Chains A and B, each alone.
Chain A
Amino acid sequence: METEVTRMQAEDYSLFYGQFKALNKINIKIPANRVTAFIGPSGCGKSTFLRSFNRMNDLIPSVTTTGTVYLDGKDVGKQDVVELRRKVGMVFQRPNPFPKSIFDNVAYGPRLHGTKNKSDLAVLVEKSLRRSALWDEVKDDLQKSGMSLSGGQQQRLCIARAIAVNPEVILMDEPASALDPVATLKIEELMNELKNKYTIAIVTHNMQQAGRVSDYTAFMLTDENRSGNLIEFGATKQIFTTPSDSRTEDYISGRFG
């Protein structure tokens, strides 16, 4: 782990909803071009923490934070949020394509960030759809509504949409929890491909999934104040076979959660 390049980092990061402390002093270094999985029981703050990397928590007025989150060594709180979100893409739990054509869904981000030229957009859309392993299924009719695709295809469309703005990091918030096993497998295979170019952080409830797709695993748990803490972080193999914290072992062996 010492040899890895750090892409994102949190330093003594705490997050509050009003008075309630949802995340307690989290310290973590997320390595570049790896898949890092966040596991833990519901309500332990995994999703909230994930949303700190692209500042989606900014949208909730009562949220305040202490400590720092870094992208490439720079404080994300001090960056332009538009540029930050271009660099840190996100895929959500429920596939959320816009009610627009497949083409317009993928082109949405690039258009926002200033790509107007039609042929440039067409190249970008094809590249993104190929990378998200959706191209072969949709190439014949890119004008079809994104909503008409199956759930798994919709989720890959959302991945293509995130890729299209050329991010460095892709955050995935339980990306397969609304999908059937076959579609889930496709997304997992895709993550394996994507980590060559992108840094991926995924929140999952499914421990087998974390075991299959991730290189590193972070285990989170709430303390007696219901605040989310990072209990253990390390190589997935190590976390799953020889966890150093007994709580991690209890969770992974299915004793609670």
Chain B
Amino acid sequence: MRTAVRILQRVLGAVPLLLALVIATFVFVRMIPGDPVDILLGQGGNVSAAEVAALRQSLGLDEPIQVQLARFLRGLLEGDLGHSFWQRQPVARLLVTTLPATVELALAALFFALAIGIPVGILSAVRPGSLLDRLAMATSFLGISMPAFWAGLMLMFLFAVKLRWLPSVGRLDPALDLRPVTGFLVLDSLLTGNWPALRSALSHLVLPGLTLGLELMAIVARVMRSSMLEALQQDYIRFARAKGVSGWSAVLRHALPNALVPTVTVVGLQMGVLLGGNMVVETVFAWPGLGRLVVGAIFARDYAVVQGAVLLYAATFVLANLLVDILYAYLNPKLSL
């Protein structure tokens, strides 16, 4: 009960921050030179001044900025994020239909980061200084130092263009029929028992997932290694080992749970990497998610979409931090929220 109240307090406490963010975005995006009406009409055609004025009015751009802001905030209270003038539909709907692609990609990246990062970290910690350890740690530096846009291009070049093992762009082989249920293609194909679609969706996730997960993977491996090393130094592990608990059992059963705590924290704090990185990765892999949406919207001066997307980014960020705290408290009961 007390925990629930605390969580609620945290969520409510984030509201002013989110509001400030969205207002800042509202102002920033209008400071970028360029006229949405020009973009909508494109560079071409014969358009009368009257039509230009009518379009400007229909986009609500004929009013002073404070009036626009007031209208936007009023809409926000009613849950209305405005209209995308380029995609010509409500922003809220656009975000809802875009989010599953982004979340699916982030989960894939998280999966790769953990599935590779954690075992590598453990193995390095168990044999510190070994060839494997040194190789793994050197490689992890590479993971941190590689720009995602380049890593993605190179992976695409190698595995999609040259070797043709994996698809290069998109989420699903378009020849396949997949009835949309949740928008998460992997889930949808499981729910409808569509195995070819599942195969295709998974194979499309590999390259962008790896690219996006690369940096986190390196971080997880390093944190896992150091916290595991620390855990293995603890008295109770030495004690357990002395009592004859076999090496791996001691590592996995006793040291691992303790070593996981810092990893969870770091993963949570690095959710921003997954979110911030997705703009680049989604652009490279033509992944129809939030990142590509927002980059496109900035270039198209699609004000409402940028505002909505920033709000969503920030809310996710706040939520991820909260989740980390909850998980942290759960893993480490001595701490309160």
Q: Do A and B come from one complex?
A: no
Residues of B within 8 A of A (CB): none
Residues of A within 8 A of B (CB): none
